[in-house]
């Protein structure tokens, strides 16, 4: 069954959607139509509870391997397969799952100034009516409680921007020449 040759792992709100769209039109590539399948975020069914809106997001996870592989069934022969789930960089267990299943994968980590990224993330949730705190600084202060309560990664405004820790872990699993 087909598995991706490359993953766009970057950070949420750092341009992964734009890169996914640009790569989709390249004739030698085939990207999953589902932009963020989130396959490597769990070992089984995703959680069912969390912060505001998390239950809906969890229902979007493609967590069964057969369903994940089916995302690439339409690929032309010889195309390089890829998908984009930015949370794979942040979730260290996801990094290990990627390595266990596709250790030869090429990884594209898109980063953005962490303060701008956090603000964009907060704005996204605030404007969607999900973020109950109308101030980014206070929302960041609530992060430890939210993490402890099992809110989804997208609520981890400051944690998602700790790229050094995330990349350091990634490079213990993958050779540097597989990471862009």
**Percent of the chain's residues with pLDDT above 70:** 99
Helix (H) or strand (E) holding 84: strand 80-84
The Cα 168–Cα 112 span in angstroms is 17
Q: In Å, how far from its chain's centre is CA 120?
A: 16
Q: What is the side-by-side order of every strand in the sheet holding 6-8?
A: 29-31, 80-84, 6-8, 106-108
pLDDT digits 0-9 by tens, 105-141: 999 999 999 999 999 999 999 999 999 999 999 999 9
With CA atoms as reference, report the closest residue to 83 among 43, 35, 121, 152: 35
How much is the pLDDT for 87? 97
3-state helix, strand, coil in the chain (%, to 5): 45, 10, 45
pTM of the model: 0.94
User: Is the pLDDT score of 1 beyond 90?
Assistant: no
């Amino acid at each position: 069954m087909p598995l991706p040759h490359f993953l766009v792992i970057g950070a949420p709100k750092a341009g992964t959607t734009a890169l996914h769209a640009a790569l989709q039109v390249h004739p030698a590539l085939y990207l999953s139509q589902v932009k963020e399948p989130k396959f490597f975020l769990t070992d089984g069914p995703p959680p069912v509870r969390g912060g505001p809106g998390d239950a809906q997001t969890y229902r979007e996870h493609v967590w069964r391997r057969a369903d994940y592989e089916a995302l690439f069934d339409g690929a032309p022969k010889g195309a390089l397969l890829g998908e984009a789930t930015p949370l794979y960089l942040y979730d260290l267990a996801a990094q290990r799952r990627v390595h266990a299943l596709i250790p030869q994968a090429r990884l594209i980590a898109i980063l953005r100034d962490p303060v701008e990224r956090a603000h964009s993330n907060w704005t996204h949730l605030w404007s969607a009516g999900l973020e109950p705190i109308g101030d980014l600084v206070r929302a960041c202060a609530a992060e430890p409680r939210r993490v402890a309560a099992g809110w989804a990664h997208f609520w981890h405004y400051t944690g998602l921007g700790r790229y050094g820790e995330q990349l350091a872990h990634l490079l213990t699993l993958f050779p540097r020449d597989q990471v862009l």
